[in-house]
Amino acid sequence: MEPYAFYKGDFMPLSEAKMGILTQSLHYGTATFGGIRGNWDSEQERFCLFRLQDHYNRLLYACHILRIDLPYSHQDMCQLTIELVKKSGYRQNVYARPLAYKSSEAIGVKIHGLENDFLIIVTTLPPYLDTSQGVRCCVSSWRRIDDSMIPTKCKITGTYVNSALAKTEAIENGFDEAILLTQDGHVSEGSGENIFIVINGTLITPPASDNILMGFTRDAVMKLAKNELGIDTVERSVGRSELYQAQECFLTGTATNIAQVVEIDRRPVGNGKTGKITAKLQEIFPDIALGKNPKYSDWYTMVYPTQ
Ligand code: PMP
């Protein structure tokens, strides 16, 4: 089976989608990407694209900042993604990766007056973090970039050097994931996930002002905690030592879903097992992700494969 891409205005086999080595965004990180989950429902024989509209709102917000003008509307981008997933031929969870980028081949660091383009690829989605034993985290020696350096509320490719440095350091030091602090020492987020902790029954997550990416899984978890479990989430700055005080901790993200953290800096979180609130959220989330709860129909785009 040959995967497809949408590239240079057309659908084509992924192997034919090649880019020039002078492409400006390759040199300077002047691009923005999305990561959209398509959950395969084997009973209904369909994909549920989770929060497709929101992902393109975020991508277009980054395009606005990076001055990437494209001939595609929000609706066009959603429709192209649906078409590509339909064509892809996969019958398992997929991950759609749109990229809006400076396609100009002119050398020079700037964002104005350059050509732009838009592409999408679809690939399969193996579990991003292994949750079978729980996730072991460290606090990174790298600090999370500040919104005054590169906008943190959208997925600008250059920003991910920060995440990649932290992730590799964590893995090479024997951990599964890194937790990054802000410059002033507050907990920000994982290298590719938002973070929640539970202290004495209160569910807490860092606020937008602590340079987090405003994750859609984070948003879904806060709504589910409230509507389904009757638990409010407190958005407030979190100190590093509160990570060691927490009875529960979990990470959220499109690729990750909800991953329980069982150890931080070699200290067990709570009793070192999945906490109660975390377990309840993990229990209800799969049906939500498959689009089975009509209460959250705004989050779902159903796609029936044509291949
Ligand atoms: N933070 C970072 C740095 C991320 O890359 C991601 C993944 N997109 C998240 C948080 C989680 O965001 P979302 O739930 O929208 O995938």
pLDDT, one tens digit per residue, over 68-100 is 999 999 999 999 999 999 998 899 999 999 999
Q: How far is the CA of 155 from the centre of ligand 1 (A)?
A: 8
**CATH class, range 135-289:** alpha beta
Cβ(199)–Cβ(242) below 8 Å: yes
Domain with CATH 3.20.10.10 in the chain: 135-289
Q: Is the beta carbon of 158 within 6 A of some atom in ligand 1? A: no
pLDDT score at 89: 87
DSSP 126: -
- How far apart (Å, rounded) are the C-alpha atoms in residues 76 and 64? 17
What mean pLDDT, rounded, does the chain reach? Answer: 97
Q: How many residues comprise the chain?
A: 307
- How far apart (Å, rounded) are the C-alpha atoms in residues 295 and 245? 35
- Percentage of residues of the chain with pLDDT beyond 90: 96
- Percentage of residues of the chain with pLDDT beyond 70: 100
Count of C-beta atoms within a 10 Å radius of residue 75: 10
Q: How far is the CA of 213 from the centre of ligand 1 (A)?
A: 6
Q: Tell me the mean pLDDT in the region 167-195.
A: 98
- How far apart (Å, rounded) are the C-alpha atoms in residues 148 and 32? 17
CA-wise closest residue to 179 among 171, 189, 170: 189
Q: How confident is the model at residue 12 (pLDDT cuts 50, 70, 90)?
A: very high
pLDDT score at 2: 77
- How far apart (Å, rounded) are the C-alpha atoms in residues 276 and 217? 19
CA-wise closest residue to 232 among 252, 202, 207: 202
Is 155 catalytic? The answer is yes
Dig out the tokens for 151 from the structure. 């906008």
- How far apart (Å, rounded) are the C-alpha atoms in residues 10 and 72? 13
DSSP 127: -
Cβ(282)–Cβ(303) below 8 Å: no
Domain with CATH 3.30.470.10 in the chain: 4-123
Q: Is the beta carbon of 189 within 6 A of some atom in ligand 1? A: yes
Q: Is the beta carbon of 37 within 6 A of some atom in ligand 1? A: no
- How far apart (Å, rounded) are the C-alpha atoms in residues 18 and 25? 14
- Domain 4-123: which CATH number of 3.30.470.10, 1.20.1250.20, 3.20.20.140, 2.10.109.10: 3.30.470.10
Q: How confident is the model at residue 127 (pLDDT cuts 50, 70, 90)?
A: confident
